[in-house]
Structure 1
Amino acid sequence: MQDEISSERAAEAPQGPRGDVRRDGPPRGGRRPQRGRPRHDRPKKNDVSGWVVLDKGVGITSTQAVAVVKRLFNAKKAGHAGTLDPLASGILPIALGEATKTVPFVMDGRKAYRFEVTWGVETDTDDAEGRPVETSENRPTREAIEAALPAFVGEIEQVPPRYSAIKIQGERAYDLARDGEVVELVARAVRIDHLSVIEHHGDRTVIAAECGKGTYVRALARDLGRVLGCYGHVSALRRTRVGPFEEATACSVAALEESTEMHLHAVETALDEIPSVAVSRDMGLRLMRGQPVILRGHDAPLGGKAYATCGGVLVAVGDVERGELVPHRVFHLGGTAPQKN
């Protein structure tokens, strides 16, 4: 399920007499006073690398969640693999250090959700935060919902929500929608592998979904409501899996505050769906210089993507071509990251 984080427009900088940006402060040649703590007194950032499977709570953006985890680990670099709406909870994989190089592999993985649809109202955002645009007194039965779900399984065409992060001529769709412009989004091909009704209570239904990259659960609820002739919107959403990361390995912010080390997973956890190969020290050094190596042995992958380890430490990930592993990403982990069990 895609998500979009609200962005605030920056205030315009004051203009000088020639139209250039005027910078307040001391005259040219003067020394600008230091702000805050002197640089030499600031705590040194840690070279920490690995994955944190955060169970994000409702009311916090993905960007804010990353900032919290980065602060708790005092990490130099951090990022996430797939944003999650502020109103949604669940799995938000956060990469630290060298793990940020494996984010694309997690982003391309399958995702699972559990979401609640409230029937009778369609909103302009397709969720509970939006303004009602269509209403109906009709309410679907559980049998009618289950009969409609198969039409949304497989490769389908889906029009993203008006309030989405998709760019239209360089502008985010949600920015255009908030400015009152009419947003016309083109249908895109997405894949939904599974849909099932978990609970049904009159005007609310809880549905489980498994889908691929680019699928909008909000759009699914909207389209399902239209097919059933009753309209609908997402009123609650929880992501239960992203690629190899599941609820069983997730932790809350409170748990991280008690202990960070026990919740840090190996960088190569993100690469669970591709084969691995152990290489010698000399081969590992070649890979880390960006040079290909010849793979030998009956267990060596014949093609596709693979990652290499040396002494149990991840050194590179790339493509196997004509018996060679051609590195596309190299890693400098040493002893800074946990090893996979």
Structure 2
Amino acid sequence: MARRKKGRDVHGWVVIDKPAGLSSNAVVGKVRWAFDAKKAGHAGTLDPEATGVLAIALGEATKTVPYITDALKAYEFTIRLGQATNTDDAEGEVISENDTRPSDVQIANALPQFVGDVLQVPPQFSAVKINGQRAYKLARDGENVEIAARPLFVESLEMIRRDDTDHVTFEMVCGKGGYVRSIARDLGEALGCLGHVRSLRRVWSGPFDLEDGVSLEQIEAEAKSADLDTYLMPLELALEDIPELPTTPEGAARLKNGNPSLVLASDVSYGDEAWASLNGQAIAVGRYKAGELHPSRVFVRD
């Protein structure tokens, strides 16, 4: 007999304004404990020293994580010019230095090559797997491994300000799998001056914005209290980029059992992904076929 998971049935999203110094998984663990939730997960890792939007899914919202993971995200970050590090950020060891400092015009002229569909090589210290092992583990063991370039969509990359001679702050909007540290490294090399990330903050992720964020300190202060649920955002927010198709109570019952059911559709095409709702609450996600939704994920909140 399967062991019953401890915790309560709590469903929805919590947006944490992640502090520096903690891993994303550590933050998830603290939030899950505070809410006493049976299930929890996050939608996009932030490096331990990075801050900003960390969207955490609780309960049935964990089934919608891929929709946030695949969504566009925006980052504000500062590059330290003139130094390359082995981690491509300020936590690493400086391995090379350069006295060249580009002008603002030179920096602006270099940015277009990093916009659009680009290929990006992840940092040596990253979670990419090489022959079954994490790259960061191999790097810690002193191995310099070759990591294959990966496709990345960058919607925009703009210089916000020149903080001083050595520091420039940017904002980037990109798709899934982007490494800001790689952008800093590659931009520094393109400018002939080297560079690494000095600070990084995620300002939004899909539908979730910093304005939605709550501090981890506040979550911990109100842990296990009824007030904590006021920070919950509906799981349906993660589904805003695919069509909503209302159904009936009878249809909802069929969908919850994993069976196709009639839904109300207007301009949805055959085979499109969509979600069925009853009174605005998500019942299932699936494919629309000839007036029916064929469920692939079912949300159980009883």
Please give the alpha-carbon distance, in whole angstroms, between the structure 2 residues aligned to 1:70 and 1:233.
33
Larger mean Cα displacement after TM superposition, 133-142 or 84-93: 133-142
CA shift digits 1:24-46 (9 cap, x unpaired): xxxxxxxxxxxxxxxxxxxx621
> What is the DSSP-based 3-state SS (H/G/I as helix, E as strand, rest coil) of the residue aligned with 2:95?
strand
**Which residue matches 2:174?**
211
1:122 to 75, 84, 89: 84
**Which residue matches 1:304?**
272
CA shift digits 1:45-70 (9 cap, x unpaired): 21111100111011111111111111
Deviation, 1:130, is 0.8
**Which residue matches 2:20?**
58
> What is the DSSP-based 3-state SS (H/G/I as helix, E as strand, rest coil) of the residue aligned with 2:300?
coil
| Matching of residue 224 in structure 1 with residue 203 in structure 2 | no
**Which residue matches 1:168?**
130
- Equivalent positions of 1:259-274 (< 5 A) are 259-274=227-242
> What is the DSSP-based 3-state SS (H/G/I as helix, E as strand, rest coil) of the residue aligned with 1:180?
coil
Deviation, 1:296, is 4.0
Alpha carbons 2:272, 2:287 under 8 Å: kept: yes
2:113 maps to a residue whose letter is A
**Which residue matches 1:288?**
256
- Equivalent positions of 1:304-323 (< 5 A) are 304-323=272-291
Unaligned stretches of 5+ residues in structure 1:
1-43, 335-341
CA shift digits 1:309-334 (9 cap, x unpaired): 12332210112134331111001114
Alpha carbons 2:119, 2:151 under 8 Å: kept: yes
Alpha carbons 1:46, 1:75 under 8 Å: kept: yes
- Equivalent positions of 1:45-84 (< 5 A) are 45-84=7-46
> Percent identical across equivalent pairs?
47
Deviation, 1:114, is 0.1
Please give the alpha-carbon distance, in whole angstroms, between the structure 1 residues aligned to 2:264 and 2:45.
40
Structure with greater strand share of residues: 2
Larger mean Cα displacement after TM superposition, 113-122 or 64-73: 64-73
Unaligned stretches of 5+ residues in structure 2:
1-5
2:139 to 177, 185, 207: 177
1:279 to 225, 247, 255: 247
> What is the DSSP-based 3-state SS (H/G/I as helix, E as strand, rest coil) of the residue aligned with 1:125?
coil
Alpha carbons 2:252, 2:278 under 8 Å: kept: yes
Please give the alpha-carbon distance, in whole angstroms, between the structure 2 residues aligned to 1:150 and 1:70.
41
CA shift digits 1:175-211 (9 cap, x unpaired): 1111112210011111101011111021000000000
From the superposition, tell whether residues 199 and 77 of structure 1 become closer, same or farther in structure 2 (CA, over 3 Å).
same
Larger Rg: 1
From the superposition, tell whether residues 301 and 279 of structure 1 become closer, same or farther in structure 2 (CA, over 3 Å).
farther
From the superposition, tell whether residues 253 and 296 of structure 1 become closer, same or farther in structure 2 (CA, over 3 Å).
closer
What is the TM-score of this pair, normalised by structure 2?
0.93
From the superposition, tell whether residues 204 and 88 of structure 1 become closer, same or farther in structure 2 (CA, over 3 Å).
same
| Matching of residue 324 in structure 1 with residue 292 in structure 2 | yes
| Matching of residue 90 in structure 1 with residue 58 in structure 2 | no
Please give the alpha-carbon distance, in whole angstroms, between the structure 2 residues aligned to 1:237 and 1:174.
19
1:150 to 97, 112, 117: 112
Alpha carbons 1:314, 1:333 under 8 Å: kept: no
Alpha carbons 1:303, 1:323 under 8 Å: kept: no
Please give the alpha-carbon distance, in whole angstroms, between the structure 2 residues aligned to 1:93 and 1:150.
30
- Equivalent positions of 1:132-151 (< 5 A) are 132-151=94-113
Deviation, 1:214, is 1.1
Please give the alpha-carbon distance, in whole angstroms, between the structure 2 residues aligned to 1:286 and 1:301.
22
1:253 to 216, 231, 237: 216
1:304 maps to a residue whose letter is D
Please give the alpha-carbon distance, in whole angstroms, between the structure 2 residues aligned to 1:75 and 1:296.
34
| Matching of residue 333 in structure 1 with residue 296 in structure 2 | no
Deviation, 1:253, is 1.6
2:77 maps to a residue whose letter is F
2:68 to 76, 100, 106: 106
> What is the DSSP-based 3-state SS (H/G/I as helix, E as strand, rest coil) of the residue aligned with 2:53?
strand
